[in-house]
């Protein structure tokens, strides 16, 4: 069982206890433990096997440690069974809907017998929800939208979750006897923001049955969906499906090309091949005999031109090798034929991180600790971007506190070398498009980052005008998480992104690509558009603790999916070049 499975189970327990009305203190204990587990670099399973004391972990008390041990040893938590006897476990799905929450879920269950999202939808249609105390027509409408969003997302995992969930099984496959090489293909190799299922390829000569058997025998497997000579398919405890294909060396490159996808990319590649009198499939690239009718050809008939390596497959088709992140049929096939694929930005080219939080607002550590962690990552500069005062629930900075923070930054600048700390604030774009800081503060900030955190349900033209007005303030440098989406949780707000990007180009404002895997905001197609318009993109982590800083790689992958070269990304610039950009309007 993976750490993420444990974390999910504990979260379910915490959600159920919250619905039951348990003490907030107890619930917090579970959630703190989940946060710790999320950041562990080792598996709980190995810790329990080694007899380590889990209560040594921060935030893990004796009762949580007991639950975790029980879960790892038996696959269940007795306490969870008890609680779910009183509160149906399906209610946690309701709680995750925007606009429901634990109290409302309890009420829906107690008064209307609503247990599932389907039940809730039926009750909404029947009009009974609207009559409950504390609900009303407006909140019913909101819940309906949340249900629609929820339906769109069920079944797809976020990329960071899929990565964590697959790690153990991948190692298991790679170490199977006789397996020469294993690679993850499919959407995960293309670094898509969400993953339907994970596709693993194993290179192996001969009948693949023993490899498939080894694969399905992994201890994290909840259900075997299929097992044959060349293919196995399983469901992990988390619900993630994993497909394995066992491929001989002579076809490994062709299979890798095929199963990496996307389908749309493959169709474009195959169409091109056909025009050249070639056939490409998961076994290789073949020259079709002149007199052959395609329907009668066996899978490996014809002269084999390529198949063992992926580079060879593209080469046989007269194309440059296409980086997996580009394989979405958005012009990469034509570019690969013409030898005009972009040079894509890389993680090691990032020289600074321009959005992060400290204990001055909702971050977990001091700004000095964040700065030192960034220096350890090899960055030349950072911006400390605590929230502004409109975010009252996280102690957003007032002008007075901003100045106090600057004094601290000045003091740290004196004391530590090797990293430049820019004074910044993540300033709220208020409802009317004005900024949540007076002009005298804006003038003194090194980097002005603005973003929307409130009134996200405005109509499209009102929201667009609001953001455009904010961007037009001459102090503004970066528009952060421009569309406000939370992957699998909240749709982007209604806004004319094209108009916003065009304005950014005109005004010399950069747009952020928020690297947090829960956001990845802007999305890939918008990143692509920003590049076309010449809008500089900043890849920032929005880290709230040092470990969040390593999310940068997700942002870089997303930037690559949007075709960005290093020169398109502002924070690949050296400190002096970045400083020069900051004075662009002077």
Site residues (vs Zn ion, CB under 5 A): 451
259 makes contact with ligand DGT (CB under 6 A): yes
546 makes contact with ligand DGT (CB under 6 A): no
Distance of alpha carbon 564 from alpha carbon 6, whole angstroms: 37
Strands 352-353 and 284-287: unpaired
Closest Cα partner for 358 from 445, 453, 426? 426
Sole binder of ligand DGT in the list 111, 197, 301, 502 (CB under 6 A): 197
Residues that bind Ca ion (CB under 5 A): 186-187, 197, 199, 243
Considering the complex, state which of residue 157 and residue 379 has its C-beta at the smaller distance from Ca ion.
Answer: 157
Burial class (CB in 10 A: 0-12, 13-18, 19+), 585: exposed
Token readout for 329 is: 């049929």
**Taking CB within 5 to 8 Å according to partner kind, which of Ca ion, ligand DGT, Zn ion, none is near residue 451?**
Zn ion
484 touches 457 (CB < 8 A):
no
| Binding piece for ligand DGT, criterion CB under 6 A, among 12-20, 192-200, 214-222, 338-346 | 192-200
| Binding piece for ligand DGT, criterion CB under 6 A, among 133-141, 263-271, 310-318, 490-498 | 263-271
360 makes contact with ligand DGT (CB under 6 A): no
* Residue 383 C-beta: closest distance to Zn ion, Å: 13
* Residue 130 C-beta: closest distance to ligand DGT, Å: 37
CA 139 to chain centre: 29
Considering the complex, state which of residue 240 and residue 427 has its C-beta at the smaller distance from ligand DGT.
Answer: 240
Query: Which residue is closest to ligand DGT by CB?
Result: 261
Sole binder of ligand DGT in the list 105, 120, 195, 510 (CB under 6 A): 195
* Residue 196 C-beta: closest distance to ligand DGT, Å: 3
Considering the complex, state which of residue 260 and residue 451 has its C-beta at the smaller distance from Zn ion.
Answer: 451
Considering the complex, state which of residue 451 and residue 488 has its C-beta at the smaller distance from Zn ion.
Answer: 451
253 makes contact with ligand DGT (CB under 6 A): no
* Residue 546 C-beta: closest distance to Ca ion, Å: 32
In Å, how far are 7, 39, 88, 227, 320 from 34, measured between CA atoms?
5, 9, 22, 34, 45
Number of neighbouring beta carbons within 10 Å of residue 227: 16
196 makes contact with ligand DGT (CB under 6 A): yes
Residues 6+ apart with CB under 8 A from 350: 379, 539, 552, 556, 569, 571, 572
- Classified as helix, coil or strand, 413 is helix
DSSP state of 218: -
* Residue 445 C-beta: closest distance to Zn ion, Å: 16
Token readout for 265 is: 């990319």
Considering the complex, state which of residue 109 and residue 258 has its C-beta at the smaller distance from ligand DGT.
Answer: 258
Burial class (CB in 10 A: 0-12, 13-18, 19+), 515: buried
Considering the complex, state which of residue 173 and residue 467 has its C-beta at the smaller distance from ligand DGT.
Answer: 173
Alpha carbons within 13 angstroms on the beta-carbon side of residue 414 total 5
403 makes contact with ligand DGT (CB under 6 A): no
Helix (H) or strand (E) holding 464: helix 460-471
* Residue 233 C-beta: closest distance to Ca ion, Å: 8
| Binding piece for ligand DGT, criterion CB under 6 A, among 82-90, 117-125, 262-270, 318-326 | 262-270
263 makes contact with ligand DGT (CB under 6 A): yes
* Residue 265 C-beta: closest distance to ligand DGT, Å: 8
Query: Which residue is closest to Zn ion by CB?
Result: 451
| Phi, psi of 247, deg, nearest 5 | -130, 135
**Taking CB within 5 to 8 Å according to partner kind, which of Ca ion, Zn ion, ligand DGT, none is near residue 334?**
none
199 makes contact with ligand DGT (CB under 6 A): yes
Binders in 267-296 for ligand DGT, by CB under 6 A: 267
Burial class (CB in 10 A: 0-12, 13-18, 19+), 586: exposed
CA 511 to chain centre: 18
Token readout for 549 is: 């800083």
**Taking CB within 5 to 8 Å according to partner kind, which of Zn ion, ligand DGT, Ca ion, none is near residue 267?**
ligand DGT
Binders in 412-451 for ligand DGT, by CB under 6 A: none
Token readout for 356 is: 């992060």
DSSP state of 540: E
18 touches 50 (CB < 8 A):
no
HEC-encoded secondary structure of 115-156: CCHHHHHHHHHHCCHHHCCCCHHHHHHHHHHHHHHHHHHCCC
Considering the complex, state which of residue 198 and residue 383 has its C-beta at the smaller distance from ligand DGT.
Answer: 198
Residues that bind ligand DGT (CB under 6 A): 186-187, 195-197, 199, 258-259, 261-263, 266-267
């Amino acid at each position: 069982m993976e750490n993420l499975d444990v974390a999910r189970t504990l979260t379910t327990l915490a959600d159920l206890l919250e619905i039951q009305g348990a003490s907030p203190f107890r619930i917090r204990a579970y959630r703190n433990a989940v946060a710790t587990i999320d950041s562990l670099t080792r598996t709980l399973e190995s810790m329990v096997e080694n007899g380590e004391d889990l209560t040594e972990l921060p935030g893990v008390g004796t009762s949580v440690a007991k639950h975790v041990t029980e879960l790892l040893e038996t696959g269940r938590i007795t306490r969870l069974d008890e609680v779910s006897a009183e509160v149906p476990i399906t209610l946690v799905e309701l709680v995750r809907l925007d606009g429901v929450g634990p109290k409302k879920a309890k009420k829906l269950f107690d008064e209307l017998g609503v247990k599932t999202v389907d039940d809730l939808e039926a009750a909404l249609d029947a009009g009974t929800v609207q009559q409950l105390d504390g609900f009303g027509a407006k909140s019913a409408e909101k819940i309906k939208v949340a249900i629609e969003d929820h339906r769109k997302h069920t079944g797809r995992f976020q990329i960071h979750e899929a990565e964590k969930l697959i790690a153990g099984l991948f190692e298991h496959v790679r170490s199977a006897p006789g397996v020469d090489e294993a690679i993850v293909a499919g959407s995960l190799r293309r670094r898509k923001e969400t993953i339907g299922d994970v596709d693993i390829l194993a290179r192996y000569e001969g009948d693949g049955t023993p490899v498939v058997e080894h694969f399905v025998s992994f201890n994290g497997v909840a259900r075997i969906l299929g097992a044959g000579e060349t293919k196995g398919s399983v469901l992990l405890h988390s619900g993630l499906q994993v497909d394995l294909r066992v491929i001989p060396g002579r076809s490994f490159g062709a299979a890798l090309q095929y199963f990496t996808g996307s389908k749309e990319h493959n169709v474009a590649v195959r169409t091109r091949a056909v025009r050249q009198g070639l056939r490409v499939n998961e076994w290789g690239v073949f020259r079709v005999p002149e007199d052959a009718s395609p329907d009668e050809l066996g899978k490996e008939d014809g002269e084999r031109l390529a198949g063992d390596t992926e580079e060879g497959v593209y080469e046989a088709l007269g194309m440059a090798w296409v980086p997996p992140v580009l394989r979405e049929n958005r012009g990469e096939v034509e570019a690969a034929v013409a030898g005009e694929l972009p040079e894509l930005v890389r993680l090691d080219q990032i020289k600074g991180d321009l959005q992060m939080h400290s204990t001055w607002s909702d971050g977990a550590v001091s700004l000095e600790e964040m700065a030192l962690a960034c220096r350890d990552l090899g960055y030349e500069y950072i911006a400390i971007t605590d929230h502004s005062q409109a975010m009252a629930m996280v102690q957003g900075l007032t002008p007075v506190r901003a100045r106090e923070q600057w004094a601290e930054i000045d003091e740290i600048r004196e004391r530590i070398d090797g990293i430049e700390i820019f004074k910044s604030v993540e300033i709220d774009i208020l409802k009317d498009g004005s900024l949540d800081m007076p002009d005298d503060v804006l003038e003194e900030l090194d980097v002005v980052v603005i973003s929307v955190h409130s009134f996200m349900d405005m109509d499209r033209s009102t929201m667009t005008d609001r953001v455009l007005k904010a961007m037009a303030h001459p102090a503004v440098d970066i528009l952060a998480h421009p569309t406000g989406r939370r992957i699998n949780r909240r749709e982007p707000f209604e806004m004319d992104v094209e108009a916003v990007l065009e304005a950014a180009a005109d005004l010399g404002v950069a747009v952020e690509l928020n690297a947090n895997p829960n956001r990845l905001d802007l999305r890939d197609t918008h990143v692509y558009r920003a590049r076309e318009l010449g809008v500089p993109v900043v890849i920032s982590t929005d880290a709230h603790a040092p470990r969040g800083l390593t999310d940068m790689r997700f942002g870089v992958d997303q930037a690559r999916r949007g075709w960005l070269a290093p020169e398109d990304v502002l924070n690949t610039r050296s400190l002096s070049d970045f400083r020069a950009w900051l004075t662009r309007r002077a």
